[in-house]
Amino acid sequence: MSAWSFPVRAGQLIELDTLECRRLLASGAVGRLGYNAPGGPRIVPVNYTLLPDAVVFRTTVTGEIAEHGLGRPVAFEVDDVDLFLRSGWSVLVTAELVELSGDAVRLLSVQETGQPWASGDRSLFCSVSLTGVTGRRVLAG
């Protein structure tokens, strides 16, 4: 045993079901999109809206997400942590990133289109299907 050992109060790790994952996704506004770019993996924050079957966000037509993410597998992650209690949760959505068609965009309500925090033309509507959703929660020990 090391002279520097400290008592560890590890928390309990719980796998979340799909319903709880969707509830937690609905509670957020900013997530992180992970995709592969020529220089290696990238993770960028995006404002998003949760629809019944997908996570939707807006980005630039000429940006890196459009160039390297569309039509490819991506990861979308949302989490929340409490540093004091050493607890939190994480939800991960994995699917192909697709562009919403003009008809699909026209069917969205104003709330469903979201308002990106970043300035500029964010007219490309992207969707990540909720077909691959997993989540975990750590409860304080």
pLDDT tens readout for residues 13-60: 899 999 999 999 999 999 999 999 999 999 999 999 998 899 999 898
Cα–Cα distance measured from residue 38 to residue 83, given in angstroms and rounded to the nearest whole number: 35
Residue type, 48: Y
Number of compact structural domains in the chain = 1
pLDDT of residue 16: 96
pLDDT above 70 (res 62)? yes
**How far is 53 from 55, CA to CA, in rounded Å?**
7
pTM here is 0.84
CATH of the domain at 44: 2.30.110.10
In a domain, 51, yes or no: yes
Residue 46's domain spans which residues?
12-139
Q: Classify the C-alpha dihedral 32-111-71-122 as positive or negative.
A: negative
Cβ-based neighbour number of residue 76 at 10 Å: 26
Q: What pLDDT, in 10s, does the model give residues 76-119?
A: 999 999 888 888 999 999 999 999 876 666 556 555 556 765 76
